[in-house]
Structure 1
Amino acid sequence: MKVLIADDHTLFRRGLRLLLSSLYDDIDAVEAADADGALRIANEQADLDLILCDLAMPGMEQLKGLQALAQRLPKAPIVILSAISNPDDIVRTIESGARGYILKSASDETLKHALSLVLAGETYIPSDAFLDRQRRWVGGAGNPPLRLSSDNPLSTLTPRQRDVLTLLMGGQSNKEIARNLGLLESTVKAHVKIILSKLNVANRTQAAMVAADLGWPQPEFTDKSPV
């Protein structure tokens, strides 16, 4: 697998190269120190399988470098590696062509899981970023959090079941929910089954309708692409 590592910190690039070599047997890594260098390599080596790049390196201002790379090599997935954890910034990178976003504080296991999803054609973002965005759906920026009475069936849902319910109401499939929350699809199916039982409904459509009637807000972000 041929990988381009683009970051303006030499030690980080070398460290990531060693880490990738320990996780995969067939890594062929090339390096760039800025967006212009990354684009130059992309122009010269169209056989890249994966691009890993920093969000804050020179040339990435206003995501122009990311957009240029995505246009030059549309079939090579781009994954952002960054210390920036702002959910809105993460969403903008996905909208600008990235197929994944991994925080530099992530573990080796998280990195491998994320890259596996991306290389399989999926999209990866940190679950914490998604959950922060979901909390805004529920409470709204600057507004008090949603309060449910003790006799409301929604109050019996666990935090993770509420996460699943929110995405379910947004029209996402079990596979999409699993991807966005970093869960196994079988785990999502189990959560959905419990949600249907607690709301005393027969299917997902009824669950969404009943949840809305009980006061659970309809997500503003209903696009089925990653949140």
Structure 2
Amino acid sequence: MRILFADDHDLVRDTVTSYLEGLDLNLSVISVRTFQEALASAEAAESLDLILLDIDMPGMNGLEGLDVMRQKVPDVPVAILSGLSTPDNIVKALKTGASGFIPKSMGARAMVGAIQLILAGDRYVPSKLVDQIEEQLAAAAEVAARKLEEPLNSDEATILGLLKKGNSNKEIARSLDTEEYTVKYHMRGLFRKLGAKNRTQAVMIASERGLP
């Protein structure tokens, strides 16, 4: 298992890395200090199970960096670390495709617990803000649902179902007995109709709207 951890605060990065590597001998952490280093490392890595991004590190430009990273490695979950954890900030991050939002005010052990939750396929947000966040997401989903004027075609609906199962583009192509470029073509149409920027966001929006 491999995690890319990008944070310009050496103490935070080193402490959490130490905890993570102490939990699992088979887990390795790639540590970098800037967003550009994170992009380069993500592109160079043979495989990644999770990317952790400090929203305030050099080059990140807030959620713009999250969006760029999601486009670079759409199959890898990306979580945000931040010193400012308001419901608005968290909802914006989730809508941009984050798989979790981890406050830096948490202790290192608690942060590791949040990371383990995301690695298990769940979405992490601070427990004390869950109700407010769910309310905002529900309201946003209701507005977005009214904007879905063009229904999904059969191929897009099938691909959405496979995305929910976590299938890669290659696996989807195999299931549909087609080529990957055809899958990518249908995914562009799916993303456009849902108003999603990536596969993680598409699945989240579809779930919020109750789409099968």
The TM-score with structure 1 as length reference comes to 0.55
Determine the structure 1 residue equivalent to 2:94: 94
8 Å contact 1:102–1:125 — kept in the other structure?
yes
SS at match of 1:61: coil
Amino acid at match of 1:2: R
CA shift in 2, pair 1:53/1:134, >3 Å: closer
Cα deviation for residue 72 of structure 1 reads: 1.3
Assess if the C-alpha contact under 8 Å between 1:23 and 1:112 holds in 2: no
Counterpart check, 1:19 vs 2:19: yes
Relative distance call for 1:98 and 1:46 in structure 2 (3 A) is farther
Separation in 1 of the partners of 2:72 and 2:135?
36
Q: For residues 131-178 of structure 1, give each alpha carbon's deviation from its aligned partner in whole angstroms, at most 9, with x where no partner exists.
A: 345788xxxxxxxxxxxxxxxxxxxxxxxxxxxxxxxxxxxxxxxxxx
Aligned to 1:64: 64
* Distance in 2 between residues matched to 1:135 and 1:71, nearest whole Å: 27
Corresponding residue number in structure 1 for 2:111 = 111
* Alignment TM-score, normalising by the size of structure 2: 0.59
Distance 1:120 1:45, change over 3 A: same
Determine what percentage of the aligned residue pairs are the same residue: 36
- Retained in 2: the 8 A contact 1:101–1:126? yes
Q: State the AA in 2 paired with 1:66.
A: L
Change (3 A) 1:9 1:109: closer
Determine if contact 2:16/2:111 at 8 Å carries over to the other structure: no
Could you tell me which residue of structure 2 aligns to residue 128 of structure 1? 128
Q: Does 1:4 align with 2:7?
A: no
The one-letter code of the counterpart of 1:54 is: D
State the Cα distance separating 1:63 from its structure 2 match: 1.2
Contact 1:49 1:77 (8 Å CA) reproduced: yes
The structure that has the greater radius of gyration is 1
Could you tell me how far apart the structure 2 residues matched to 1:224 and 1:134 are? 13
In structure 1, distance between residues paired with 2:102 and 2:62: 19
Larger RCO of the pair (alpha carbons < 8 Å, separation 6+): 2
- Give the structure 1 partner of residue 50 of structure 2: 50
C-alpha offsets along residues 99-152 of structure 1, whole Å, 9 cap, x if unaligned?
A: 01111122455334322332222211112222345788xxxxxxxxxxxxxxxx
Amino acid at match of 1:73: V
Which residue type is aligned with residue 126 of structure 1? Answer: P
1:39 Cα deviation after fit:
0.5
Cα distance in structure 2, aligned partners of 1:10 and 1:112 = 16
Tell me, yes or no, if the aligned pair for 1:6 and 1:53 is still in contact at 8 Å: yes
Deviation at 1:224, TM superposition (A): 4.7
Q: Which runs of 5+ in 2 are unaligned?
A: 137-204
- Matched position secondary structure for 1:30: strand
Aligned ranges for residues 149-168 of structure 1 at < 5 Å? none
Which residue is equivalent to 1:35? Answer: 35
Aligned pairs, number: 141
The structure with the largest helix share of the pair is: 2
